[in-house]
Amino acid sequence: MIRITIIFAAAYWFIESAIDALLFNRGTLLEMIFTADPYEYFVRLTGAGFIVTIGMLAQYMLKRIQGSEEQLRRFRHQNELILESAGEGILGIDQEGKITFINPAAAAMSGFTPAELAGQSFHDLLHYSYPDGSPLPLEDCPVFNSLREGKIQRQSHDVFWTKEGKSIWVEYSITPIIENRKITGAVVVFTDISARKQAEEELLRHREHLENLVAARTGELTRTNEQMREEIEERTRAEKALVESEKKLRFLTKQLMNVQERERSRISAELHDELGQALMVLKMDVSSLQDKLRKEQDPLRKECSRLLSEIDHIIENVRRLCWDLGPYLMEGLGLTASLQSLIEETCKKHNLICTMKLDEIDQIFPPEIKTNIYRILQESLTNIVKHATASQVSGTISIERENLIMEVVDDGQGFQVEELLARPGPDGGLGLTAMQERARQIGGELSISSQAGQGTVIKLTLPLPSGPGPGESLSKSVNPQP
């Protein structure tokens, strides 16, 4: 380019000299070329310099254009490598639904070659029926709905059809391509989830099998319980046999409750420690993955946000299960704080106005008695939520005359206590009976006072063991937001 510029500058000098010599007769051509006239020399030098400057600018602009084109070629090549290396299938379609692009992953999953798919209708070739094989009308196809409405569509489970006529389960998203405010096509990104779908079906079969086993075992236990009931009825004919049978039954009940509490505590601890920690690690991993995604990977970023929301929901469910299985918190918070937390959580969850006045009783009772106190309060609150239709609940724990007094009062619809306890079968107040049995196991007494339309009062009276007296009183009113 420099050489051409110099040639043009020399040509300009020669032409100027020829004009002065031939047209204006200022001298010979050779004299004009080597003129000593300062003005003429300045004019020609200025013109030649201008030509050289223009040439250099042109060379600079040419290099810039060539550099931009090379950068653009590298950028396009990089995009092509990314599309070809992507593990998800990627299809490009035009406004009529015809395939204009297919990456290797999409070709491998569909069984078609790119040449076989190019220019073909996406709907007619890959997405022409529902998972059950029935025809899928074009107007119901999510891809064409996205083209028609210009909105992003997502499907978590659907089927595409391969070249061999086999269906594969996929999850996919359709993103419209909008150019100059017009929809010119769409991009379909899909993933083969056939293996995951098969695993889900296998899990469902195992679950049904387990439910059948549980049902069979429940039937066996039911028959066993029926036999035990018949034996107990026969033994009631003799007073001595009745007393002996009652002692044995209460001993077995106590053992069963102890085993049940130990199992609940174990399951609650494992859920809290192992599953809870695993979920938190999973949440941090997904969040870290989301932060590493590039701007153009917006669909994956949104999928990560959805996964984080699902993980938060699972963590909340695990927390609720641990709480229901409790009293796991009692080990760390103490009995009084656990009872307070139980009342607060119940009131907030079911929108109840709740008043509490709890004396400190952590250092008074051994662990077994603490567990039964917790269970009696838990069952009382459960009955209120399920049956009382109450709006206000009051919980009181106090020390009076060497006795612990725990009262739970509600303003619900109430019931006839004797009539309920006299009913046979599951409608006969089994929960109340279990609460009374727990009170007897720890040497206490449970009284239930209720009338229809006047609410219910459940009162536990438990003698204090020898030991330190009560601590300070914790009094609090909880008014959960609607």
| DSSP bridge partners of 170 | 158, 192
Q: Which amino acid is at 3?
A: R
Residues 133 and 153 in one domain: yes
pLDDT of amino acid 472: 39
H/E segment holding residue 359 = strand 353-359
Note the pLDDT of residue 334: 82
pLDDT computed for residue 44 by the predictor: 64
If one counts every other C-beta atom within 10 angstroms of the C-beta of residue 329, the result is: 18
Flag whether 326 is in a domain.
no
Type of residue at 359: D
Domain boundary among 320, 351, 371: 320
Tell me: do 22 and 135 sit in the same domain.
no
Strand (E) or helix (H) holding 430: helix 430-441
Distance from the Cα of residue 43 to its chain's centroid? 79
Other Cβ atoms closer than 10 A to 39: 8
What is the radius of gyration, based on Cα positions, of the chain? 43
Identify whether 76 is part of a domain: yes
Strand partners, 135: 129
Is residue 258 domain-resident? yes
User: Can you say whether residue 455 is alpha, beta or left, with left for phi > 0 and alpha for psi between -120 and 50 degrees?
Assistant: left
Rounded Cα–Cα distance for residues 190 and 170 (Å): 6
> Does residue 401 lie within any of the structural domains?
yes
- Is residue 376 located within the same domain as residue 474? yes
CATH number of the domain residue 414 falls in: 3.30.565.10
Query: pLDDT tens digits, residue range 430-470?
Result: 778 888 888 888 889 999 998 888 899 999 999 998 754 44
Q: Given 162, 192, 222, which residue is the final one in a domain?
A: 192
What CATH number is associated with residue 173? Answer: 3.30.450.20
CA 50 to CA 188: how far, in whole Å?
A: 56
For 198, 307, 410, 426, 434, the CA distances from 458, given in Å and listed in that order, are 52, 45, 9, 21, 13
In this structure, the answer to whether residues 300 and 402 fall within a common structural domain is no
Pairwise CA distance, residues 211 & 217, whole Å? 10
Range 463-466 contact pairs with CB under 8 angstroms and sequence separation of 24 or more: 463/402, 463/403, 463/404, 464/364, 464/399, 464/402, 464/403, 464/404, 465/364, 465/365, 465/366
**In terms of domains, do 473 and 344 share one?**
yes
| Residue 325 is assigned to a structural domain of this protein | no
In this structure, the answer to whether residues 280 and 310 fall within a common structural domain is yes
According to the model, what pLDDT value does residue 476 have?
Answer: 40
Q: Render pLDDT for 351-400 as a digit per residue (tens, 0 to 9).
A: 999 898 999 888 888 888 888 898 889 889 988 988 888 999 999 999 98
Cα dist from 335 to 327, 331, 397, 476, whole Å? 9, 8, 11, 16
Pairing of strands 392-400, 445-450: unpaired
Are 259 and 378 found together in one domain? no
181 and 241 inside one domain = no
**Residue 327 within a domain:** no
Residue at a domain's end among 289, 320, 351? 320
Task: Indicate if 120 and 36 belong to the same structural domain.
Answer: no
Count of other CB atoms within 10 angstroms of residue 383: 21
Domain that holds residue 76: 2-83
Q: Is residue 328 assigned to a domain?
A: no
| Residue 278 resides in a domain | yes
Total domains present in the chain: 4
CA distance 273 to 277: 6
Tens place of pLDDT per residue across the chain (482 aa): 567 667 766 776 677 677 666 666 666 666 666 665 666 666 666 766 666 677 677 777 777 777 666 666 665 556 555 556 567 888 888 888 898 888 888 888 888 888 888 888 888 888 888 888 888 888 888 888 888 888 888 888 888 888 888 888 888 888 898 888 888 889 899 988 888 888 888 899 999 989 899 988 888 888 888 888 888 888 776 566 556 656 666 666 666 666 666 666 667 666 666 776 777 777 787 788 777 877 777 888 788 888 888 888 887 777 667 666 665 445 567 888 888 888 888 898 889 998 989 998 888 888 888 888 988 898 899 889 888 889 999 999 999 888 999 999 999 998 888 887 777 655 556 778 888 888 888 889 999 998 888 899 999 999 998 754 444 344 343 344 33
pLDDT at 482: 37
What's the rounded Cα separation, in Å, for the pair 262 and 297?
49
Same-domain pairing of 344 and 467? yes
425 lies in the same domain as 472: yes
Q: How far is CA 111 from the centre of its chain?
A: 33
Tokens 């917790």 locate to 374
Whether residues 96 and 74 share a domain: the answer is no
Q: What is the pLDDT of residue 459?
A: 93
DSSP 292-327: HS-TT-HHHHHHHHHHHHHHHHHHHHHHHHHHHH--
